[in-house]
Amino acid sequence: CTSAIVADAIELEKLGVPTVVISEDAFEAPARLRARMLKLPDLPIVVVPRAKNAGEDLVKATDTVFDRLIVGLAKKAIPTRAV
């Protein structure tokens, strides 16, 4: 899935559509490797920790992830991790 998501994001970028990939921390390395392999190493990737539960963890991370998505879509440098 990670490889396909990155490949799709790069195809959208080639069409001029700003994209940001959201990746769970366990898949960060493969996502960044795939982006480099497809010649877009600066593809914005927001890395989120694996949620321990579907409630509080997800709610807590939402604001941070949302802010980083907006920054990534604006094509500014984004911090690697959302906590």
- The tens digit of pLDDT for each residue in 49-83 reads 776 766 666 677 777 788 888 888 887 544 455 44
- The tens digit of pLDDT for each residue in 24-57 reads 889 999 999 999 999 999 999 998 877 676 666 6
pTM: 0.76
Closest CA to 18 of 48, 49, 47, 40: 40
